[in-house]
Structures are given as structure tokens and as C-alpha cells.
Amino acid sequence: MALSETIKAGPVAGKLDHIPGHLGMPIFGNTFEFLKYPFAFHESRRQQCGPVYKFSVFGGRTVALYGADALEYVLMDREKNFGSRDGWRLLQQLFPNGLMLRDFDDHRSHRRIMQVAFKPRPMQDYMLRLNDGIANTLPAWTPSPRFQFYPAIKKLTLDLGASVFLGLEMGDEAAKLNQAFVDEVAASVAVIRKPWPGTKMGRGVKARAFLLDFFRDLIPARRSGDADDMFSQFCRAKAEDGAFFSDDEIVDHLNFLLMAAHDTTTSALTTMIWALAQYPEWQDAVRDEVMALGTERLDYAAMDRLALTERVFKEALRFRPPVPFLPRFSRRPFEFGGYEIPGDTSISVSPGLVAMDEDIWTEPTRFDPDRFSDNRAEDRRHRFAWSPFGGGAHKCIGMHFAIMQVRAFVHQFLQHYRVALPDGYKPRWQAIPIPKPRDGLPVILTRL
């Protein structure tokens, strides 16, 4: 096997000699250094080179544009210069044709059709499903001095996703589906990009085939029924010209949507519970707010009355954003930060690095939900100061759903459980592709 076969060559960028930074070893570039400590890698580059620098991971040379202005410039993309599909090329093999892998007019028309499933009416139906699923699961969580929170919430999020997105009650398929998602996501950052047997990519490609067949078999029943799950809505949704999504489009959208929803929400909920365990004073305050609503399940109309919960969640997302780096691909040369950057170049901007920017946030390394209070409003210091859900045309379509799911969970969880961290415990987080605690986040779980 030639070494060059291990990393699939990325798109060929124009000349980057004038851009500061270094491209690391031949073939592998900076991949291993980046994978080990992604944030430290970028922070040191930025300190050495300034806000515009080049690096090389996964076989493609990339120009990083640091800062909130860069996020705004690239994501708002007023000149339609930055493609998402080629930016997210690492996902192309496993999630081709997902919404984020489409650009411009094609993206807009697909997004418009999918948007039907995120309107207030269907959201109210999802809320009922979320509440039911959470209420059915929580009583089975057994108090323990070392309750593994991450696997428990990952399973719950998958079960909720199966109910809300697919209209399924999970039975025997759950473990197989869960493993398939894990394999698909793990393959997206595999160093070996060929689907050889025994490799991460080999497992990822097999997992994709399994999931697509699984969804395809369900299409006839979803098309003819009148259920309110997202799958059924995609089957019935029409474009302006009256056309429906084809079977291939439906399975690709679902496959991408489940991936986009599952690990991100799991990661966000894990950080949220870690924060409530680490800062008991916030846990008590949020519990008081939840109890004051006086309902066992969260009412859709009462969501806006959880202001403290929202503040803590916003800070959790700032502290550890599930999607810290966003890639794009320039179609034409452009100028940023005093540099002429060529077309056909991979670009990276980072909500995660901006979330720790000392020019925007007061003591950014401190967990401090009050920075989002109306009188401090640090997030309003820049339009892109706080952007864990991205921005512009590709801004997360599931943002309100994710926020709703987190509130519904926290609302029921804190009514029944107290959570704390073992003495001296410090979690070790795997930073990418999506942050997760390497040890499953063992917490002390007690019933109230």
C-alpha cells in the first residue's frame, strides 16, 4: 500500500506561499497534531501567525480565518463564494446529498421543503413525543455513585430520535442502529479514507448501507400514513412545483439529519449535566425554576419561562460547542485580513475559538451563565460572538428542536434526581469530531 493511498487527496488549492503557517509532514501534514489537541493546535498557530494562517489536515491544505468577523464574513457569504459541500468533503463519502452537503439554489430549495417539519405545529407534536420518551426512560435510571451519564443520555437521545424522526419505538434494532451511527460518525474523521475491510471507513460505509436500507423499507408505510414524525413529513412534503422528495432524497436527508441531531444533542446535554453537577448552586437555581412551573412534563407554551435554564445551556454551548470548527471551500479568490486568498481553497472558521476570545468575553475560561443576562449580554458584543448553531444559509435547522429537547429533559430530570461529581473528578474530553467524555462521565446520581 502506498502511503499516499491512506489519505485521499483534498481539492488542490491555489498558491498559499504568502500565507503564514506551516503545512507539517509530507502527506499527513498536521493531521496527528490537530487530532490530538485541536484547540491548542489552532491557538498556537494563531499566536505565531496572526488571524490568517494555513495548515494541512486529512490531505487538504486549509486556510484558517480566526475571529468573529471571519465567521460573519464566511457564513453570511454575501458574495456566494463559500461552498459548504466541498468544505465538508470529509462527510461526502458517508452523507452525500445531506442538507449541509448542498449549496446555494439547490440547498435553498431542499431546505425550504424540509422547513415544513420544523414549524410550530409539528414542534408541538414532537414535544409530546419527547416528554413521553423521557418520562418512560428516567424512572429506570438507577441511582449510583458512578452513574455513566454519557452512554445513558446517548441511548435516550437515540430512542427519542427514533420516535420523533422515524416514528419508531425502539426495540431490538436499537443497538444495531446506535452502532451504525457511531461507525458512520467515526469514519468521517478516519485517516484512511478507503473503505478497506477492518478499517474505520470500511465499517462506516457498511453502516451507511445498513441505515439506508432500513429507512428505505419504511418509506411506503410513511407515505401512505398520516403520522406526525419527521420521516412521514419528509415523505409528504412538496416543493413549490408540487414535486415530492424521491426515495433516494428522503433516505439521504434522514441519514444526515439523524447524524446531525444525535451526537450534537448528546454532547450538549452531557456538557449541560456536567455543568449542573460541577456548579451545585446553578443546579439548585435551575431546579427551583423548573419546580416553579408546577408541571410534571414541560408544556410547549411554558418553554419561555425557563430563563435560567436557557442561560446555563447557552453557557454550556459556549464552553464546549458540539461543532467547534466549520469548513467551507472558496469558489473564487477573495481578500480577508490583508491577504489575497485563492479560489478552490479549503477555509476553516471556528465558533469554538471565538467562544473563548478574550476580546469578546470577560474571563472566557470561567463557567459563568450570567454573562448572558440582559444587563451583561456579552453575547451581543458581536453578531457572531455566540454561534454554536452556525449562521447564514446553513444555520442549524434543528436549533429550536435541540433547545426544546434539552429543556424537556432538564425539566423532568431535575424534578427527580440530584447530580454531583465524585471528589476531585476531572473529565477528559475527546474534542472532535464531536466532544464527548472519554470515561462516560461517571456522576453521583441520587433520587430526590
CB of 272 to ligand HEM, least distance (A): 9
CB of 247 to ligand HEM, least distance (A): 19
DSSP reduced 3-state for 34 = helix
Residue with cell 412545483: 241
Report d(CA 162, CA 170) in Å as an integer: 7
Residues 230, 231, 233, 236: what is their CA dihedral angle, to the nearest 10 degrees?
A: 170
Give whichever of 100 and 308 is closer to ligand HEM, judged by the CB atom: 100
Residues forming a β-bridge with 444: 420
Report d(CA 357, CA 370) in Å as an integer: 17
Using rule CB under 6 A, residue 398 touches ligand HEM: yes
Using rule CB under 6 A, residue 326 touches ligand HEM: yes
Give whichever of 195 and 352 is closer to ligand HEM, judged by the CB atom: 352
Using rule CB under 6 A, residue 347 touches ligand HEM: no
> At what angle are helices 247-278 and 280-293 packed, to 10 degrees?
120
* All three cell numbers of 338: 490583508
User: Segment contacting ligand HEM (CB under 6 A): 54-62, 218-226, 294-302, 388-396?
Assistant: 388-396
Pairing, β 82-83 against β 417-420:
unpaired
Residues that bind ligand HEM (rule: CB under 6 A) add up to a total of 22
Cα dihedral sign, 86-349-332-57 = negative
CB of 125 to ligand HEM, least distance (A): 14
Binding marks (x or -) toward ligand HEM, 78..97, rule CB under 6 A?
------x-------------
Task: State the DSSP code for 163.
Answer: I
CA dist list (Å): 313 to 243, 321, 446, 447: 39, 11, 22, 22
Using rule CB under 6 A, residue 290 touches ligand HEM: no
User: Considering only residues 113, 160, 218, 402, which one is a binding residue for ligand HEM as defined by CB under 6 A?
Assistant: 402
Q: Is the distance from CB of 57 to CB of 34 less than 8 angstroms? A: yes
Give whichever of 59 and 352 is closer to ligand HEM, judged by the CB atom: 352
Give whichever of 162 and 261 is closer to ligand HEM, judged by the CB atom: 261
CB of 314 to ligand HEM, least distance (A): 11
Among positions 28-87, residues that touch ligand HEM (CB under 6 A) are: 84
User: Segment contacting ligand HEM (CB under 6 A): 8-16, 280-288, 336-344, 391-399?
Assistant: 391-399
Among positions 94-133, residues that touch ligand HEM (CB under 6 A) are: 99-100, 111
CB atoms within 10 A of CB 77: 18
Binding residues for ligand HEM, per CB under 6 A?
A: 84, 99-100, 111, 257, 260-261, 264-265, 268, 322-323, 326, 388-390, 394, 396-398, 401-402
